[in-house]
Amino acid sequence: MDSKDTLLQLSKTMPKTELHLHIEGTFEAEQMFAIAQRNQVPLKYQSVEALKAAYQFTNLQDFLDLYYQGMSVLLHEVDFYDLTMAYLTKVHEENVVHVEIFFDPQGHLSRGVAFETQITGIYRALQDAQQQWGMSFKLIMSFLRHLSEESAFETLELAKPFLNWIDGVGLDSSELGHPPEKFLRVFEACQALGLKVTAHAGEEGPPEYVWQAIEQIKVDRIDHGNRALEDEKLVAVIKEQELTLTVCPLSNLKLCVVNDMTDHPIKDMLALGLKATVNSDDPAYFGGYMQANYNALINDSDINKAELYQLAVNGITGSWMDQELKYQHLDTLKSLFS
Ligand code: ADE
Ligand code: ZN
> With bands split at pLDDT 50, 70 and 90, how would you rate the model's confidence at 254?
very high
| Residue 236 CB coordination number (10 Å) | 12
| Residue 70 CB coordination number (10 Å) | 23
- The ligand placed nearest to the CA atom of residue 63 is 1
Write down the pLDDT at residue 264: 98
Query: Residue ranges per domain, the chain?
Result: 4-330
Q: Where are the beta strands (DSSP E) in the chain?
A: 16-22, 96-103, 136-144, 168-172, 196-201, 221-224, 244-247, 275-278
Most ligand 1 atoms within 8 A of CB, residue of 27, 63, 252 to mutate: 63
- The ligand placed nearest to the CA atom of residue 286 is 1
Query: What residues act catalytically?
Result: 203
pLDDT, tens digit, for every residue of 285-324?
999 999 999 999 999 999 999 999 999 999 999 999 999 9
> With bands split at pLDDT 50, 70 and 90, how would you rate the model's confidence at 17?
very high
User: Ligand 2 centroid to 173 CA: how many Å?
Assistant: 8
pLDDT, tens digit, for every residue of 19-76?
999 999 999 999 999 999 999 999 999 999 999 999 999 999 999 999 999 999 999 9
Residue 1 clears pLDDT 80, i.e. is over it: no
- The ligand placed nearest to the CA atom of residue 254 is 1
pTM of the model: 0.98
Radius of gyration of the chain (CA): 19
Which atom of ligand 1 is least distant from the CA of 22? 2
> With bands split at pLDDT 50, 70 and 90, how would you rate the model's confidence at 14?
very high
Most ligand 1 atoms within 8 A of CB, residue of 178, 200, 246 to mutate: 200
Per the CB < 8 A criterion, the answer to whether 303 and 120 are in contact is: no
User: Into which CATH architecture does domain 4-330 fall?
Assistant: Alpha-Beta Barrel (3.20)
pLDDT above 70: percentage of residues in the chain: 100
Most ligand 1 atoms within 8 A of CB, residue of 22, 198, 248 to mutate: 22
Residues 82, 68: Cα–Cα separation, whole Å: 18
Average pLDDT over residues 219-226: 98
Residues 165, 159: Cα–Cα separation, whole Å: 9
> With bands split at pLDDT 50, 70 and 90, how would you rate the model's confidence at 2?
confident
Residues 130, 173: Cα–Cα separation, whole Å: 29
User: Ligand 2 centroid to 271 CA: how many Å?
Assistant: 24
Residues near ligand 1 (Cβ within 6 A): 22, 25, 60, 67, 172-173, 200, 203, 251, 281-282
| Residue 15 CB coordination number (10 Å) | 17
Which atom of ligand 1 is least distant from the CA of 175? 8
Angle at 314 between CA 313 and CA 319, to 5 degrees: 110
> What sections of 193-322 are H helices per DSSP?
207-212, 232-240, 249-254, 266-271, 283-286, 290-300, 305-317
Residues 76, 81: Cα–Cα separation, whole Å: 9
Residue 237 clears pLDDT 80, i.e. is over it: yes
Residue 130 clears pLDDT 90, i.e. is over it: yes
| Residue 131 CB coordination number (10 Å) | 9
> With bands split at pLDDT 50, 70 and 90, how would you rate the model's confidence at 330?
very high
Residue 187 clears pLDDT 80, i.e. is over it: yes
Alpha carbon separation from 151 to 75, 142, 143, 155, 196 (Å, rounded): 21, 12, 9, 6, 20
The DSSP line for 131-165 is HHH--EEEEEEEEETTS-HHHHHHHHHHHGGGGGG
